[in-house]
C-alpha cells in the first residue's frame, strides 16, 4: 500500500475501533464489565475510572460485582453509578457493590438496536469524511508532483479502503443488533 494512503487507512481504522469500543459499552442482556468504562469515581479529588479503584467481576450472567481496594470508596463508587446513565441501582453490602441487570424488555431492545444503527451510521460518515480528506489531499498532489494516472490509482485504492471499512461497520452493526435482539 502507498504510504500516502496509509495515514488515511489508520484514521479509518481508528473510527472503526472507536465504534467497537462504543458497542462494548452497550449492554445486551448479559452483564458486561465494559458498561462501566465511562464511569469515573471521585478518588481523592481526581475523577478516576472504576477499573482503577477496585476489582470488577461477573459472578453471574446478569450481575457485576465491584470490590474496591479501599473500603472508604464504596460510597463514591455507588454515587458515581447512580449519577451515570447506566440506569441500574447499585446494592452496597458494606464490602462490595453489586449491579444486577434486569432482563431487557422488547421495547428497550428495539431502542438499543436503533442506537446501534445510529452509531454505525455516524461511523460510516466519519469514514467517508476521511475518504473526502484523502481525495482532497490527492488532488493537491496532482497539481504538483504526481501524474494523473497515479492519482486515479491512489483514488481507487482509497475507495477500496472506504468500501472495506463500510462493510466492516455494517458487519459489526449486524452482529451487535443480533446480540441485543437475542433473548
What was the pLDDT predicted at 143? Answer: 78
**Do residues 128 and 172 share a domain?**
yes
Q: pLDDT tens across 55-88, in order?
A: 988 888 788 899 998 888 888 888 888 888 777 8
C-alpha torsion sign, points 160, 164, 169, 175: positive
Q: Distance between CA atoms of 116 and 108, rounded to whole angstroms?
A: 12
**Do residues 37 and 18 share a domain?**
no
What was the pLDDT predicted at 10? Answer: 93
Task: Record the cell numbers describing residue 91, joined without a space.
Answer: 446494592
**Do residues 114 and 162 share a domain?**
yes
**Do residues 83 and 109 share a domain?**
no
Domains: count for the chain: 2
Q: What are phi and psi of 91, to 5 degrees?
A: -110, 130
What was the pLDDT predicted at 105? Answer: 82
| CATH classification of the domain holding 59 | 3.30.1360.40
What was the pLDDT predicted at 1? Answer: 64
Triad 101, 104, 107: Cα angle to 5°: 150
What was the pLDDT predicted at 183? Answer: 60
Question: 147 and 157 in contact (C-beta within 8 Å)?
Answer: no
Residues of the chain with pLDDT under 50: none
Pick from 76, 100, 124: which residue ends a domain?
100
Find the domain containing 128 and state its range: 3-24+105-181
What was the pLDDT predicted at 120? Answer: 93
**Do residues 110 and 145 share a domain?**
yes
Torsion of CA 86, 92, 98, 101, to 10 degrees: -50
| CATH classification of the domain holding 166 | 1.10.132.20
What was the pLDDT predicted at 39? Answer: 86
Q: What are phi and psi of 2, to 5 degrees?
A: -65, 135
Amino acid at each position: 500500500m502507498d504510504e500516502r494512503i496509509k495515514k488515511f487507512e489508520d484514521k479509518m481504522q481508528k473510527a472503526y475501533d472507536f465504534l467497537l469500543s462504543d458497542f462494548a459499552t452497550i449492554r445486551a442482556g448479559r452483564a458486561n464489565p465494559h458498561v462501566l468504562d465511562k464511569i469515573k469515581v471521585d478518588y481523592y479529588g481526581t475523577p478516576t475510572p472504576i477499573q482503577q479503584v477496585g476489582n470488577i467481576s461477573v459472578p453471574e450472567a446478569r450481575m457485576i460485582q465491584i470490590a474496591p481496594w479501599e473500603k472508604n470508596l464504596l460510597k463514591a463508587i455507588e454515587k458515581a453509578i447512580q449519577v451515570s446513565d447506566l440506569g441500574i441501582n447499585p446494592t452496597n453490602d458494606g464490602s462490595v457493590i453489586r449491579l444486577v441487570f434486569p432482563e431487557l424488555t422488547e421495547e428497550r431492545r428495539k431502542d438499543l438496536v436503533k442506537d446501534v444503527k445510529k452509531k454505525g451510521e455516524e461511523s460510516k460518515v466519519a469514514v467517508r469524511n476521511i475518504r473526502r480528506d484523502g481525495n482532497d489531499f490527492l488532488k493537491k498532489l496532482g497539481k504538483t508532483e504526481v501524474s494523473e494516472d497515479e492519482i486515479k490509482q491512489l483514488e481507487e485504492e482509497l475507495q477500496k479502503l472506504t468500501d472495506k471499512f463500510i462493510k466492516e461497520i455494517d458487519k459489526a452493526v449486524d452482529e451487535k443488533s443480533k446480540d441485543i435482539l437475542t433473548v
